[in-house]
Structure 1
Amino acid sequence: MVERVRYQLFLPKPLSDRLEALAAKPGATKSAILTDALTAWLNRRGASELEERFAIRLDRLTNAIGRVERDGHVVLETLALFIRFELSIQAPLAENDQAGRAVARQRFEAFVQQVGRQVAAGKRTLGPEEGDR
Structure 2
Amino acid sequence: MKKRRLSAYLEPEVMNALADYAAKRDVSLSLIAEAAIASFLSPDSEERKEAAITRRLDQIDRRVQRVERDLGISIETLALFVRFWLTSTPALPDAAQPEARAKGRQRYDAFIDALGRRLSKGPKLRQEIAEDIGPPSSADTAEPHAK
What's 1:21 paired with?
Answer: 16
- Using structure 1 for the length normalisation, give the TM-score: 0.53
Output the CA distance in 2 between the equivalents of 1:52 and 1:125: 35
Unaligned runs of 5+ in 2: 1-11, 20-39, 129-147
> Which amino acid is the alignment partner of residue 102 of structure 1?
A
Aligned-residue RMSD, C-alpha: 3.2
TM-score normalised by structure 2 residue count? 0.49
- Residue 90 of structure 1 aligns to which amino acid in structure 2? T
CA distance in 2, matches of 1:93, 1:105: 16
Whether the 8 Å CA contact 1:93–1:101 is kept in 2: the answer is no
- 1:67 partnered with 2:62: no
Distance 1:100 1:23, change over 3 A: closer
Q: CA deviation at 1:44?
A: 5.1
Contact conserved, 1:118 with 1:124, CA < 8 A, in 2?
Answer: yes
| Cα deviation code 1:13-52 (max 9, x no counterpart) | xxxx95472599xxxxxxxxxxxxxxx7xx958x654321
Deviations 1:74-100 (CA, angstroms, capped at 9, x unpaired): 221121121122112211233332222
Report how many aligned residue pairs link the two structures.
Answer: 94
Q: Does 1:119 align with 2:114?
A: no
Deviation for aligned residue 1:125: 5.0
Distance in 1, matches of 2:125 and 2:77, equals 14
- The residue number in structure 1 matching 2:93 is 94
The alpha carbon displacement at 1:111 in A equals: 0.6
Q: What letter corresponds to residue 123 of structure 1 in structure 2?
A: P
Kindly tell me: are residues 50 and 96 of structure 1, through their superposed partners in 2, closer, same or farther at Cα, counting changes over 3 Å? farther
Does 1 or 2 have the higher relative contact order (CA < 8 Å, sep 6+)? 2
Partner of 1:78: 77
Report the CA distance between 1:116 and its aligned residue: 1.0
Take 2:67 and 2:115, find their aligned partners in 1: how far apart are those partners?
20
Secondary structure of the residue aligned to 1:127 is helix
What is the percentage of aligned positions where both structures have the same residue? Answer: 32
Question: What does residue 4 of structure 2 align with?
Answer: none
> CA offsets per residue over residues 37-76 of structure 1, 9 Å max, x none?
xxx7xx958x654321232232133123212211211221
Matched residue, 1:110? 110
What residue ranges of structure 1 are gaps of 5+ in the alignment?
Answer: 1-16, 25-39, 129-133
